């Protein structure tokens, strides 16, 4: 099951059960639900407007590149991003409904020294910023992770 989740875009328990069945494993929905919870999977939106399960610390290529600071989310990436407001050492990121968890995951995987961690809701992310980080460093980090332009001055 772990390999299927890590290597395929699986968006529902029914789809996962069908894939497991193709590999000779018959499981009930209750078993899948327990296993997904035990594995601490998360369901995140994709750039195609659907959802998929991901594993924590899944070590996918994108995760590795984000963690090294070597990957930017391209402006064409469907992140659901709407706005960014910074107040003190808290950033409030507004997203389309359902997009906050996936975007918060990408922000956390970046392991930025300016962003200590995130708390996502369904359409809002609270990001705690290092109080010693300069506003310029914080904005540069967010520009790598969010589809915002370099000229816009966010509060």
Give residue-wise pLDDT tens across range 131-150. 999 999 999 999 888 888 66
Q: From CA 23, how far away is CA 142, in angstroms rounded?
A: 42
Q: Is 125 helix (H, G, I), strand (E, B) or coil?
A: strand
Confidence tier at 79 by pLDDT (50, 70, 90): low
Residue 15 has pLDDT above 50, yes or no: yes
Confidence tier at 90 by pLDDT (50, 70, 90): very high
pTM over the 0.85 mark: no
Residue 26 has pLDDT above 90, yes or no: yes
- Give pLDDT, residue 146: 87
- Give pLDDT, residue 80: 79
Confidence tier at 73 by pLDDT (50, 70, 90): very low
Q: What residue spans of the chain are helical by DSSP H?
A: 2-7, 13-22, 29-38, 61-67, 100-109, 135-145
Length of the chain: 155
Residue 113 has phi, psi (to 5 degrees) of -75, -20
Give residue-wise pLDDT tens across range 96-105. 887 888 889 8
């Amino acid at each position: 099951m772990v390999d299927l989740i890590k290597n395929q875009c699986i968006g529902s328990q029914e789809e996962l059960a069908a894939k497991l069945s193709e590999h000779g494993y018959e499981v009930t929905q209750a078993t899948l639900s327990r296993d997904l919870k035990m594995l601490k999977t998360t369901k995140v939106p994709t750039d195609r407007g659907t959802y998929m399960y991901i594993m924590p610390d899944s070590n996918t290529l994108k995760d590795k590149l984000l963690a090294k600071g070597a990957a930017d989310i391209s402006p064409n990436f469907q992140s659901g991003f709407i706005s960014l407001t910074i107040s003190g050492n808290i950033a409030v990121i507004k997203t389309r409904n359902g997009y906050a968890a996936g975007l918060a995951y990408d922000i956390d995987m970046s392991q930025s020294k300016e962003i200590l961690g995130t708390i996502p809701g369904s359409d809002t992310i609270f990001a705690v910023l290092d109080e010693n980080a300069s506003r310029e460093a914080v904005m540069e980090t967010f520009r790598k992770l969010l589809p915002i332009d370099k000229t816009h001055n966010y509060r």
